[in-house]
């Protein structure tokens, strides 16, 4: 029987080892059996393993009577959007910000949203029933996707909707965009140019192995240098599948997802567009964001890590903005998943509407508390680590008082414990983090 388990963002791992062609086939078959219908929308990022995994996935869908409509290389939010337009299941072959030798598969419901807990449980249950020997894919070299119906031009529908989400003329802005050599490389630079923006494109020449390599939202340093060197107004950093965004101001300072959310939430609330004056964030969001929202009388819902958790909270509360410090922002008025291009367009519109620089907007929106995050390797996963260190955590928290925050949690994907400490001063955060890391190591 198949033993494939979904994490917070689908299945991901070393391609052809932790994620095989047989696995892709079985996921396709399970999706067909759970969601039914006659069509699925599939797409991928720029990794060299993408075509083979997509072919296997489509073959699995076909055995369940589902024909695959192929978007080819396309951003994750575009695939989700087009799937919703077709009322079809969406399937993305991507490992997001991971290196090229990893790959993954994530699924979207026929409504174009991340899977609910119930849907994900149903997929896993069906996978557990399937006979793994029924998947006979062996080739890893086939770049041809037989039997798929190409709908690549429908990526343009997503672009038009995103561009239509802003109500100001963006002409006059100079933007440097880092495409991470990923799925937005051929889409976002021309889309920005069509919006009247002067565009300087970086890392938009994927070769199958350079995705996320020293670029994109996980490595924005070269983008920061380019913004300063070109005298641009702003830099936008996407990741490999373009579902997250970090920004860089004209001084070369990085503006993370928390700061972007703070700016946009305050602006939307002032304009009466922030549903219920609510914002959804995760436990990793900076204390400064929570303070800023409290001062603005914007209610904040805090969820566990993962944009699926953010989306579920948004649905439950009827809120329309939420996200993560890493740059996954979800605007439910415009879609059901993180969308780096959409986030960038909203940010550019705010700059143009307010006639203020990103630097000034970010400084006015929130004060960023120094934050230290360290990973401690452990021999086995420790899901109860917070309980086991409750005394030590309480001691540190009491010492920091209301000027700091502590979070100790086990990773859901690796044998590491993540220790995060925020404080009014970087030195205080570092010493407290070191203290808790030492306590974790004693238990490891």
How confident is the model over 167-180, as pLDDT tens digits? 999 999 999 999 99
pLDDT at 22: 94
For position 259, which CATH number holds?
A: 3.40.120.10
**304 lies in a domain?**
yes
Which residue in 318, 331, 317 sits closest to 81, CA to CA? 331
Cα torsion 326, 332, 333, 334: sign: positive
Indicate the average pLDDT of the chain: 93
State the pLDDT confidence band at 204, using cuts at 50, 70 and 90. very high
23 and 148 housed in the same domain = yes
In the structure, what pLDDT confidence band is assigned to residue 121 with cuts at 50, 70 and 90? very high
Give the model confidence (pLDDT) of 332-387 as tens digits: 999 889 999 999 999 999 999 999 999 999 999 999 999 999 999 988 878 889 99
Residue 34 has pLDDT above 60, yes or no: yes
- Domain count of the chain? 4
Q: Please say which residue of 199, 221, 252 terminates a domain.
A: 252
What domain range includes position 86? 11-154
Residues in CB range of 238: below 8 A, 6 or more apart: 177, 178, 179, 180, 182, 184, 188, 216, 217, 244, 245, 340, 341, 344
**In the listed set 365, 381, 405, which residue is the last one of a domain according to the structure?**
365
What mean pLDDT is predicted for residues 223-246? 98
Same domain, 242 and 287: no
Q: In the prediction, which pLDDT does 146 show? A: 55
Residues 289-313, mean pLDDT to the nearest whole number: 94
Catalytic residues: 96
Determine which helix (DSSP H) or strand (DSSP E) holds 397, and give its type and residue range: helix 390-400
For residues 21 and 147, state if they share a domain.
yes
Are 338 and 166 contacting, i.e. CB atoms less than 8 angstroms apart?
Answer: no
pLDDT at 140 > cutoff 50: no
**Residue 162 — pLDDT band, cuts 50, 70, 90?**
very high
For the stretch 180-199, pLDDT in tens is 999 999 999 999 999 999 99
If one compares 142 and 71, the residue with the highest pLDDT of the two is 71
Instruction: Quickly count: other Cβ atoms within 10 Å of residue 67's Cβ.
Output: 15
Helix (H/G/I), strand (E/B), else coil: 139: coil
pLDDT tens per residue across span 76-91:
999 999 999 999 999 9
Looking at the fold, whether 28 and 102 belong to one and the same domain comes out as: yes
Report pTM. Answer: 0.92
Quick one: how many helices (H) and strands (E) in the chain?
A: 15, 18
């Amino acid at each position: 029987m198949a033993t494939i388990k979904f994490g917070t963002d689908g299945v991901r791992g070393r391609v052809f080892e932790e994620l095989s062609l047989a696995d892709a086939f079985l996921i396709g078959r399970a999706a067909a059996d759970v969601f039914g219908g006659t069509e699925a929308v599939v797409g991928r990022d720029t990794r060299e393993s993408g075509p083979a995994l997509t072919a296997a996935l489509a073959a699995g869908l076909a055995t369940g009577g589902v024909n695959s409509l192929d978007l080819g290389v396309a951003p994750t939010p575009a695939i989700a959007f087009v799937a919703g337009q077709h009322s079809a299941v969406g399937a993305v072959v991507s490992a997001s910000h991971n290196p090229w030798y990893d790959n993954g598969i994530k699924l979207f419901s026929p409504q174009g949203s991340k899977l609910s807990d119930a849907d994900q449980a149903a997929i896993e249950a069906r996978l557990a029933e399937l006979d793994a020997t029924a998947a006979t894919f062996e080739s890893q070299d086939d770049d041809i996707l037989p039997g798929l119906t190409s709908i690549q031009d429908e990526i343009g529908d997503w672009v038009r909707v995103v561009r239509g989400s802003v109500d100001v003329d963006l002409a006059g802005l100079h933007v440097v965009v880092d495409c991470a050599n990923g799925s937005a490389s051929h889409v976002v630079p021309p889309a920005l140019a069509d919006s009247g923006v002067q565009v300087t494109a970086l890392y938009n020449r994927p070769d199958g192995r350079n995705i996320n390599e020293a670029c994109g939202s996980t490595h924005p340093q070269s983008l920061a240098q380019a913004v300063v060197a070109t005298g641009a107004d702003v830099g936008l950093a996407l990741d490999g599948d373009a579902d997250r965004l970090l920004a860089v101001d004209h001084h070369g300072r990085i503006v993370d997802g928390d700061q972007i959310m703070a700016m946009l939430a305050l602006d939307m609330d002032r304009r009466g567009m922030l549903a219920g004056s609510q914002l959804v964030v995760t436990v990793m969001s900076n204390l400064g964001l929570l303070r800023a929202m409290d001062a603005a009388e914007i209610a904040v819902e805090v969820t566990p890590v993962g944009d699926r958790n953010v989306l579920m909270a948004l649905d439950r509360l009827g809120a329309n903005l939420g996200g993560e410090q890493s740059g996954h922002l979800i605007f439910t008025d415009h879609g059901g998943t993180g969308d780096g291009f959409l986030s960038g367009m909203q940010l550019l519109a705010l700059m143009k509407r307010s006639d203020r620089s990103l630097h000034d907007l970010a400084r006015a929106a929130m004060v960023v508390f120094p934050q230290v995050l360290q990973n401690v390797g452990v021999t086995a996963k420790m899901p109860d680590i917070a309980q086991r260190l409750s005394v030590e955590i309480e001691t540190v928290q009491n010492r920091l008082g209301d000027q700091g925050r502590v979070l100790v949690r086990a990773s859901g994907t690796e044998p590491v414990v993540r220790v995060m400490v925020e404080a009014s001063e970087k030195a205080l955060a570092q010493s407290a983090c070191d203290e808790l890391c030492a306590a974790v190591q004693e238990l490891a």
